[in-house]
Structure 1
Amino acid sequence: MKDGNGRGHLLTEQVNPNSQNLDQMTALEIVDLFNQEDAQTIAAIRAAREPLAEAIDRTAEALRHGGRLFYVGAGTSGRLGVLDAAECPPTFCTPPELVQGIIAGGASALVRSSEALEDRAEDGAEAIAHHHITSRDVVVGITAGGTTPYVHGSLHAAQQRGATTILIACVPINQVTLETVDIDIRLLVGPEVLAGSTRLKAGTATKLALNILSTGVMVKLGKVYGNRMVDVSVTNTKLYDRALRILQDLTDLDSEQAATLLEQSDRQVKLALFMHWTGLDAAASRQCLTEHQGNLRQAIQAAISPIR
């Protein structure tokens, strides 16, 4: 059955047979049902592993050459993109303009529903123009049902400007096809527990995909050493403590020595590690790291052998 917008055939709009008696379930039965259904989000990510990996590689290459990453969406999809973008500066010490979220309706849509604005494809195109998207940039359109005009308009405009375009949707390609995108990521989680409520499994799978994409990109850009966030922005007590733990875990320094080194490096963990392992001062260490595009492992390999 199709709804008034002709979208009833979409996977994200179908009725889940496992939850047809949802209103008669106990609280524990509801929890168990959600737990059972949410397992499909992991399977959906696994099925999309190859396009996700391609998205990581192509985005990292674009950012390495001066490009930026943009997430575009409406409603829950837009909020998830803004959230992932907002978490990059504190986690990886990236400038705010490197990864950005664009949501239909602007900042006010983050806290108040503005669903009607998703129907304006021209607004999506205008957002792309407003952010001066170029061929160096990457634009990720996020739309659970795959039909959001705002996202379609933004992807089409981005493609016309030569940007790399990526689609994240939760419906099969045979239901919604976008021939213009460079990478098509489909997260097929099946019908929602609450029919049509894509903030549930679709939202969870989308968040997982964005976690993987942004973290993978930052790994490729050298902002991670081993599995430590060595570019963490030390802006509060929690992050200061984390920085000290990273230094202590990766070196033979005690807490006091690690604190001294962190201050000598202007609270930059990556720089502190390089200084400790090479014996170079801050200025020389910065220069070497810059020469290797901030990649700590490569910089150390060039400075000393063997690498620690």
Structure 2
Amino acid sequence: MRMTPSPASAIDALGDLQTESPNLLARSIDTLDTLGLCKAFNHEEARVCPAIECCLPFIASLIEDLVPRLQTGGRLIYVGAGNSGRVGFMDCSELPVTFSTKEDQFLAIVAGGSQAIISAQEAAEDSEEDGSAQLHKLQITCDDTVIGISASGRTPFVIGALKVAIKQGALTAAITNTTPSTIGGLAVTHSIVPIVGPEYLAGSTRLKAGSAAKQILNMISTCSMIKMGKTYGGLMIDVRAKNYKLLARGRRIIRQVYRILQENGHPFADFVRDPNQIDDLGLNTLIETCGGKVKLACSVVVSGLPHDVARQRLDLVHGNFHSFVDSLKPPVYYQDTGLSGPPDEEFFLAIDGGGTKCAVTIASRSGIVAQAKAGAGNFHCVPIEVLLDHIRSAVTKAISLIPQESRRLFSTDMPRFAAVWAGLAGLQHAKRRDTLTKSLEKVFGVSAKNGSLRLSSDSELPSARIGIENPTRRGISLIAGTGSVATAFKQDSNGDVIPIGRAGGWGSLIGDQGSAFDIGKQAVQALLTSVELSQGTETDCLTELELAVLASLGHFKEGLLSRILFSGTEMKNNIADLARVVTALGFRTNPDPQAVEILTSAARSLVRLVKPLAKKQICDPATSSLVLSGALMKMPDFQSLFLHELSREGLHAFRNVVTVDDPSAVAALFLASKHPRTT
């Protein structure tokens, strides 16, 4: 095997790496008795969890990007050498039996091949060409995720693999324990750097560095499986019962799942046989009939359906047990909407098109029937043809989730909706609005002229909440997500909700104050200012927040501004994503003061958006609602901060304050409650 020499750079001066440095606390270990050795070792290992805690926002961000790719069949590939590779292999090898995943969806690429898992192949890590070749063999696509693991941050094998993954457009991540590092300088999507410090034995990265890598990989894979609905109530419901121990666990899981649903008032619990009244032999037979699939057996028990029908229902919801259970319940709706009765032939569609996703909700007069998401729905982010494809894709997914008995009412694969409300970001500045209107009319069989199609900005969707609850006839909708905008609205004599004022929504170039983008921008500005101040000095003066932001941006101060400004179309989302770092530090038990200052500034900016609309001529707070939505407003801590700042400005006297978690759901329910019945 030909080895690639390490680049002659300061980064690759091995003696300078944190993982190679001698541990001053360990200098006396040779003189300790056995108990003293164990105590000292345990003391060092205790540094792992705090180091990982600092990386949690970055790990969470990776998981949120990973899960949609796994759901569409993308692969998760760990790449490492030595102990790092073996840790990756250990994690992914457990997933098929624990979560019934496909064995070829989770892979570990170890320098030196499968033999290196059994016995060390130390020279293998030095070949960057081999790492590159191994990834080329897998024919990586943009649906795949590649995570490189290298304690030193300079392993050539891992670098070669990551370069290929980046070039092929895959989602990429790196887990390292040194900064700066060669891998940190690559354009990986997510960089996770738990700084555990020098090892108990200098350079032995199977210790703290290995412990950190194992915990992080366990966290990534386990949390991803939870997000994919492969667990229920903390139970491994997707386990395959292939031996006596797992069969016994499967029986316990079935009984526990039933008990959880019964305690939660599951409406079908009284109409199916209680598995606690079935003996072990009976449950064993059920599990065997289901091919050893415990989740399918649970689905049969809680639904009373034959196993083949239950399997089909599970497939419709992509194997998500939570969604399967929800499909057995009466449609979910707000208790005070006044909607009642069984679903009929009339369906209503609401579309919430934003910069990162297009969310749709289908409702009947009885409530929400199905929901789904697809790609970006911002009029200025994607061409109109792509936007329409994303809308069609999301609606098609939602239709596939509608229970079979309701879908029998459709005369075609696409139902004729009684009314459609499409709220799309950027629509107020759209030049091809007529083209979009005609396309939506054709796809869904509705008409803007007769009122069955409503086309608006996405900022108007949350206003539908006032039309459902009707405690007031006027209100202000404040959206604080990637961008920010406030809209004043009122109910007309027909019960429809119409906009009467607007503030903000100017876009990231000249506006978006108080948004996630604004928070991220302020964090970047603070970092750049400190970097400039440190010029000509020998010491870094970066704060905890600035170090966290720098880590998220790739660790290198050199060329930082260029990397931010020239990151292409993703620049806005990349900056907005830094809000995760700021909120994690600002809302923890011991808040970071710099993060708190940025968050307070953002909250005050949002107050300034509300202020010009909160006047008697538009929306008198005393008789109006305040409707909050967007990712920031879903965070209780940030919402509380905003309401505190609102009170400081004397605007606390709104008649009521409500939060809209899902604008498309509210809009669909509004259509169903207000649209006249067909005769």
Pairwise CA distance, 1:176: 5.9
Of residues 146, 154, 157 in structure 2, which corresponds to 1:147?
Answer: 154
Distance 1:282 1:222 in 2: 19
In structure 1, distance between residues paired with 2:114 and 2:195: 29
Amino acid of the residue matched to residue 187 of structure 2? T
1:287 alignment counterpart: 312
| Native 8 Å contact 1:225 1:296 kept in 2 | yes
2:55 equivalent in structure 1:
48
Q: Aligned equivalents of 2:184 and 2:305: distance in 1?
A: 55
Asked if the contact 1:278/1:304 (under 8 Å) is kept, the reply is no
Residue of structure 2 aligned with 1:138, choices 145, 158, 168: 145
Q: Tell me which residue corresponds to 1:214.
A: 221
- The partner residue of 2:275 within 240, 253, 275 is 253
Which of the pair is proportionally richer in helix? 1
Q: Displacement of 1:259 after TM fit?
A: 2.8
Whether the 8 Å CA contact 1:223–1:295 is kept in 2: the answer is yes
Instruction: Give the match for residue 329 of structure 2.
Output: 304
TM-score between the two structures when normalised by the length of structure 1: 0.95
Kindly tell me the number of residue pairs found equivalent between the two proteins: 305
Give, as a single letter, the amino acid of the residue that structure 1 aligns with 2:168.
R
Q: Distance in 1 between matches of 2:181 and 2:143?
A: 30
CA change 1:209–1:195 in 2 (3 A) is same
2:314 matches 1:266: no
Aligned partners of 1:305 and 1:21: how far apart in 2?
A: 67
SS of the equivalent of 2:89 reads helix
User: Which of 300, 303, 307 is matched with 1:275 structurally?
Assistant: 300
- Which residue does 1:10 correspond to in 2? 17
Question: Aligned to 1:93, which of 87, 100, 104?
Answer: 100
Secondary structure of 1:184's match?
strand
Question: Does the aligned pair in 2 maintain the 1:73–1:103 contact within 8 Å?
Answer: yes
Contact 2:77–2:109, Cα closer than 8 Å, also in 1: yes
C-alpha separation between the residues in 2 aligned to 1:290 and 1:175?
Answer: 44
Provide the C-alpha distance between the structure 1 equivalents of 2:331 and 2:199, rounded to a whole number of angstroms: 53
Residue in 1 that maps onto 2:72: 65
C-alpha separation in 1, matches of 2:35 and 2:182 = 35
Give the root-mean-square deviation of aligned CA atoms. Answer: 1.8
Which is greater in Rg? 2
Q: Determine whether 1:111 maps to 2:118.
A: yes
Deviates more, 1:217-226 or 1:82-91: 217-226
Residues 165-188 of structure 1, C-alpha deviations (whole Å, 9 max, x = no match): 100001124686323100000011
> Do structure 1's residue 21 and structure 2's residue 28 form an aligned pair?
yes
| Aligned pair partner of 2:46 in 14, 22, 39 | 39
Same amino acid, percent of matched pairs? 39
C-alpha distance in structure 1 between counterparts of 2:182 and 2:228, whole Å: 35
Q: Which deviations, in whole Å up to 9, do the C-alpha atoms of 1:20-74 show, x marking residues without a partner? A: 1122211111100111111111111111101110111111111112210000000
SS in 1 for 2:19: helix
1:164 alignment partner, one of 158, 171, 189: 171
Greater share of strand: 2
Contact 1:12 1:192 in 2 (8 A): yes
CA distance in 2, matches of 1:73, 1:281: 45
User: Contact 2:174–2:183 (CA<8 Å) still a contact in 1?
Assistant: no
C-alpha displacement at 1:306, in angstroms? Answer: 8.5
Residues of 2 paired with 1:108 and 1:267: CA distance? 32
Report the residue type matching 1:262 in the other structure.
I
1:119-143: CA deviations, max 9, x gaps?
1111010010111111110000000
- For 1:24 and 1:116, how far apart are their aligned partners in 2? 34
Change (3 A) 1:30 1:112: same
Give, as a single letter, the amino acid of the residue that structure 2 aligns with 1:40: R
Q: Describe the SS at the equivalent of 1:240.
A: helix
Preserved CA contact (<8 Å) 1:10 1:175: no
Query: Unaligned regions of 5+ residues in structure 2, if any?
Result: 1-8, 259-273, 333-679
User: What corresponds to 1:177 in structure 2?
Assistant: 184
Distance 2:232 2:28 in 1: 49
Q: Judge conservation of contact 2:19–2:151 (CA < 8 Å) in 1.
A: yes
Contact 1:81 1:101 in 2 (8 A): yes
What letter corresponds to residue 253 of structure 1 in structure 2?
P
Q: Give the Cα separation in 2 of the matches to 1:48 and 1:108.
A: 32
TM-score where L is the length of structure 2: 0.44
User: What SS does structure 2 have at the residue aligned with 1:100?
Assistant: strand
SS in 1 for 2:94: helix
Q: Is the 8 A contact 2:76 2:146 kept in 1?
A: yes
Secondary structure of the 2:310 match is helix
Query: Could you tell me how far apart the structure 2 residues matched to 1:271 and 1:283 are?
Result: 9
